Structures are given as structure tokens and as C-alpha cells.
Amino acid sequence: MNIPQKPLEIKKYFSIGLFLTILFASGWFTDFSLTEVFRGIGETREILSKMFLHTDLGYVKNLLGPLAETIQMSLIGTAIGAVTAVPVAVFSARNFIKHKLFTGFWRNFLGVFRTIPALVFAAIFASVFGLNSFSGMLALSVFTFGLLAKLIYEAMEGIDHGAVEALEASGASQLSILRYAFIPQILPQYLSFILYAFEINIRSASILGYVGAGGIGVFYQRNLSFFRYERIGTIVILTFVVVLITDAVSAKIREKLV
């Protein structure tokens, strides 16, 4: 009977030492300084005081239109991304399409979209289509496409294959297998993913206007430029309330779906 060997103490200490070395080296290369952190506490406290203790609540009426635009951008962007993600997710699922080069191509294709942040897409689209909410909506669509496509094909690869094998044994076509084996199993997750993406897009859309892509982010940029922190606090609080409501509603819906 083989008795499991206790891990060597030297290996544990070496791992800890390596981790601490990497941590301190990262701090050194990024010029991290606790002195600067403590030196900036006073100014940070002053800014936060202006934002949340002297909030300009009268500014809310100026934000309702841009906030509605932000929600609309998120809604349309999520819808477009959710629809366009489906075929690419199907092409990327290795338990549905058995050709590794084919699925590998589409996975790498998705990797490009997931690498580039939504803010960069917004800046690119703003330079092409102008400084408007259409550019922000396109940026959110592309971001949602990359996010959902990955989540969907991972959900497809995690299904119970009993139904797939039964359909394959009966000579069913690939489309029939997709329709009767894959879709029923991943549909609740797919709808949950859409809600999750919408929550993320609400947050992302709030700052896309900083690069001219419409929505409430334009007001972030404008007020930060003039150091109007009391108005920035109003925007943050209003956005927080919307995100909080969205999270609560989405959570309730996801509970019923999954």
C-alpha cells in the first residue's frame, strides 16, 4: 500500500517566495509607493466630500434624457450582440462541429473581439460614424457579441450528450440535433447570459460617452473637465440606482430561468 507523501516544505516556501518576489517586482516596475498613497488621502477625501456630501441634486433633471439614451444603447447593443453571437458560438462548439481547424478559426476570431475593450471600439466607431449614440450602440454590440459567443459555446460543450447520441443513432441531421438536443438544454442559460450582458452594458455605456459615443458618459467627461465634482457625484449616484434596479430585476428573472 502506497502512503501519499507529504509535500516538501521547501516547495511551499519556494512558491511563497516566488509569489512575493513577483508581487514586489510588479510594484517596483509600476512605481507603486505607499508614501504617495498616504500623501493623496487628503485630496481624495476632499474630492469625495464634494461628490457625495455636496451633491448637486438639482442637476438630476439634466441627466434623465442622457440616462435614457444610455439604457437604450445598452438594450439595442445587447440585442444585436445576442443574435449575432449564436451562429459563431455554434461554429465554435467542438462537440457539435468536429473539425478542430474550423472551430479553432472561429475561437481565435472571437478572441480578437474579446481582447479589445468596449471603450476602444467606441473610440473607433466614433471616428467613423461621428460623436453620437449610434457609435456607442455599435461598440456595445461588438462587445456583447464576443462575450456571449464564448459563453454560449462553453454552455453547448457542457450539455448532457445522451440526447445527442440518441439523435445521431437515429440518423438525424445536424440541424435536427442542434434544434432538439442543444437548444432545449442551453436556452435557459442563453437567456440568463443575455441579462448578464445587459447588466454589464449598462455600466459600460455609462462611460462610452467619454470618447464621444453618446449617453450619460458625455456628462462625465464634461464635468470632469471643469472639476465639477458635485455634479459627478450626482451622475454616479443616479447611475448606481439604475444599475442596482437592473441587477435586482435581472436576478429575479434569472432565478426563474435557471
pLDDT in tens, 77-130: 999 999 999 999 999 998 888 888 999 999 998 888 888 888 888 888 888 888
Distance CA 109, CA 142 (A): 12
DSSP state of 2: P
Per-residue confidence band for 3, with pLDDT thresholds at 50, 70 and 90 = low
Query: Cα(62)–Cα(58) distance, rounded to whole angstroms?
Result: 8
What is the average per-residue pLDDT within 194-203?
A: 87
pLDDT band for position 58 (50/70/90)?
A: confident
What CATH number is associated with residue 157? 1.10.3720.10
- 2 domain residue, yes or no: no
More confident residue, 258 or 17: 17
Domain assignment of residue 40, yes or no: no
pLDDT of residue 149: 93
Give residue 180's Cα distance to chain centre: 30
Buried b vs exposed e over 86-111: b needs ≥16 C-beta within 10 Å?
bebbbbbbeebeeeeeebeebbeebe
Q: Do the beta carbons of residue 113 and residue 175 sit within 8 Å? A: no
Whether residue 256 has pLDDT greater than 80: no
Grid cell digits, residue 249: 430585476
Count of other CB atoms within 10 angstroms of residue 162: 9
- When mean pLDDT is compared across 69-73, 86-90, 189-193, 205-209, the lowest value belongs to 205-209
Instruction: Assess contact for 140 and 81: CB atoms under 8 A.
Output: yes
Over residues 55-76, the mean pLDDT reads: 88
Query: Alpha-carbon distance 46 to 151, whole Å?
Result: 42
Q: What's the domain count of the chain?
A: 1
Question: Average pLDDT for residues 178-195, to the nearest whole number?
Answer: 88
Confidence at residue 4, expressed as pLDDT on a 0 to 100 scale: 56
Domain assignment present for 30 = no
Q: What is the average per-residue pLDDT within 207-228?
A: 80
The pLDDT mean for the chain works out to 85
| 125-to-78, 197, 256 alpha-carbon distances in Å | 17, 20, 37
**Radius of gyration, alpha carbons of the chain:** 24
Grid cell 438536443 — which residue?
Answer: 181
Which pTM value belongs to this model?
0.78
Cell of 210: 467619454
Is residue 33, in this structure, part of any structural domain at all? Answer: no
**Is the pLDDT score of 23 beyond 70?**
yes
What is the average pLDDT across 218-245?
87
Distance of alpha carbon 106 from alpha carbon 91, whole angstroms: 7
- Full domain range(s) for residue 213: 51-257
Are 193 and 148 contacting, i.e. CB atoms less than 8 angstroms apart?
A: yes
Q: Provide the 10 A C-beta neighbour count for residue 191.
A: 16
Residues in the chain: 258
Tell me which residue has cell 511563497: 16
6 found inside a domain: no
DSSP-derived letter for residue 79 is: H
DSSP classification of residue 212: T
For residue 144, pLDDT over 90 is answered with: yes
In a domain, 15, yes or no: no
pLDDT in the model for residue 152:
93
Confidence of residue 148 (pLDDT cuts 50, 70, 90): very high
- For residue 24, is it within any domain? no
In a domain, 27, yes or no: no
For 59, which DSSP code? G
